[in-house]
């Protein structure tokens, strides 16, 4: 029995405070975030394959959407000593009927990583270094209707890779690099591939150079740069991309964008210098207009000329 009145209550209060403090410290060391994108519109897509239509229709996850609707969860844990661990799972959603857009539920991202002052090592399905490099200078923000991405497929390797081991350096005065070894990829008939990207993004100048190769392709590469001045930006690139049949598509891109308050306008063109994919050289182009309703929501309209097809769409995108 305590000789001090109120001591048991005091002890309980101290214990409660200690539990709350410990809980708060644990919460400060780890976090999980739910995020996503909702994007839908109306338009016409005639770029071929299953993504083809001949009249106006509801658009979700199509070539003429700004992006694909998605739901994702990512988390980080502070392991101490400057070391962190994390994960990212992300699935696509069709706003037409609410279904998942891929047969694999977490087809957009499914990876785990360890990182620190020395950089980040990531394992699993993730963005390719060639995609990360392209996003450094591409003017539409790698929108679905990006003419550079649709013409050359991110230097032939695509935007994501399965079974990838990747290392990304820390940002050093604007310089960074990413390298990935892909042990199994559907692009290469389950054969290994490598992908390397070098990036510089500091002030008005952004530059990216990437190279990749899978066993049934030739060496693919892309080099591009963007220069921003005031409300304007110009960008140029040169790409060689090959497919699993070792057929080569090669050419350059050139574009410009301008921003006027909440409104922005972008025009981007590619021109083949060699095209073994279709047997004919094409000049492709995209025009995009966007109006920001807030920091997270904007409306857009785009017209894409792709390999002799005309595609257009208008829509709204909300990030959360």
Q: Are 209 and 133 in contact (CB under 8 A)?
A: yes
DSSP states along 287-317: EEEEEESSSSEEEEEEEEEETTEEEEEEEEE
Note whether 146 and 138 are within 8 A (CB): yes
Q: How far apart are CA 252 and CA 2, in angstroms?
A: 84
What's the rounded mean pLDDT across residues 30-34? 96
Residues in the chain: 320
Q: How many other C-beta atoms lie within 10 A of the C-beta of residue 51? A: 15
Residue corresponding to tokens 């690099």: 177
The residue written with tokens 């021109």 in the block is 271
Q: How many CA atoms lie within 13 A of 263 on its CB side?
A: 4
Mean pLDDT of the chain: 90
Instruction: Please choose, from the candidates 131, 101, 143, the residue with its C-alpha nearest in 3D space to the C-alpha of residue 212.
Output: 131
Please tell me what DSSP assigns to residue 190.
Answer: T
What is the model's pLDDT at position 197?
98
Q: Decide if pLDDT at 185 tops 70.
A: no
Q: Are strands 232-242 and 297-306 parallel, antiparallel or unpaired?
A: unpaired
What is the distance between the alpha carbons of residues 70 and 53, in angstroms, rounded to a whole number? 23
Per-residue model confidence as pLDDT tens digits over 149-180? 999 999 999 999 999 999 999 999 999 999 99
Run of H or E including 249: strand 248-260
Residue with tokens 């392991």: 79
Q: What is the pLDDT of residue 53?
A: 59
Residue 48's pLDDT is 61
Q: How far is CA 223 from CA 114, 136, 141, 196, 282, in A?
A: 29, 11, 17, 12, 20
Strand, helix or coil at 203? Answer: coil
Q: Does position 100 have pLDDT exceeding 90, yes or no?
A: yes
pLDDT 10s digits, 126-155: 999 999 999 999 999 999 999 999 999 999
Q: Looking at residue 190, what is its pLDDT?
A: 58
User: Which residues make Cβ contacts (< 8 Å) with residue 135, sequence separation at least 6?
Assistant: 141, 142
Give the CB-side neighbour count of residue 290, counting CA atoms within 13 A: 25
Q: Give the pLDDT score at 10.
A: 36
Relative to beta strand 297-306, strand 283-292 is antiparallel
Inform me whether the pLDDT recorded for 255 exceeds 90. yes
| Maximum pairwise Cα distance, the chain | 95
Query: pLDDT band at residue 9, thresholds of 50, 70 and 90?
Result: very low
Structure token pair of residue 139: 């003017």
Q: What is the pTM of this model?
A: 0.88
With 90 as the cut, is the pLDDT of residue 29 above it? no
In terms of DSSP bridges, do strands 160-168 and 119-127 run parallel, antiparallel, or are they unpaired? antiparallel
Residue 82: what are its φ and ψ, rounded to 5°?
80, 0
Percent of the chain with pLDDT over 90: 82
Q: What is the pLDDT of residues 50-70, one digit of tens each?
A: 555 556 799 999 999 999 999
């Amino acid at each position: 029995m305590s000789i001090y009145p109120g001591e048991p209550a005091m002890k309980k209060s101290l214990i409660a405070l200690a539990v709350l403090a410990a809980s708060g410290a644990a919460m400060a060391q780890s976090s999980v975030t739910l995020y996503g994108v909702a994007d839908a519109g109306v338009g016409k897509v005639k770029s071929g394959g299953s993504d083809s239509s001949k009249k106006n229709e509801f658009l979700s996850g199509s070539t003429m959407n700004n992006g694909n609707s998605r739901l994702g969860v990512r988390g980080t844990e502070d392991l101490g000593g400057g070391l962190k661990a994390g994960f990212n799972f992300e699935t696509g959603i069709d706003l037409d009927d609410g279904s998942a857009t891929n047969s694999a539920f977490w087809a957009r991202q499914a990876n785990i990583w360890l990182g620190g002052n020395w950089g980040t090592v990531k394992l699993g399905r993730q963005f390719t270094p060639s995609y990360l490099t392209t996003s450094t200078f591409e003017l539409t923000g790698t929108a679905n209707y990006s003419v550079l991405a649709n013409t050359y497929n991110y230097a032939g390797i695509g935007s994501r890779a399965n079974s990838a081991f990747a290392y990304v350096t820390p940002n050093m005065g604007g310089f960074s690099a990413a390298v990935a070894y892909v042990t199994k990829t559907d692009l290469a008939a389950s054969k290994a591939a490598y992908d390397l990207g070098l990036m510089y993004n500091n002030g008005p100048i952004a530059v990216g150079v990437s190279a990749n190769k899978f066993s049934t392709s030739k060496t693919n590469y892309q080099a591009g740069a963007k220069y921003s001045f005031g409300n304007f930006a110009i960008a140029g690139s040169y790409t060689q991309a090959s497919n699993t049949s070792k057929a080569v598509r090669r050419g350059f891109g050139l574009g410009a964008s301008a921003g006027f308050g909440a409104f922005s306008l972008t025009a981007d063109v590619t021109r083949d210098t060699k095209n073994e994919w279709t047997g004919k050289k094409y000049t492709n182009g995209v025009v995009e207009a966007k109006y920001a309703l807030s920091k997270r929501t904007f409306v857009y309209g785009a017209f894409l000329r792709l390999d002799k097809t005309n595609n257009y769409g208008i829509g709204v995108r909300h990030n959360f």
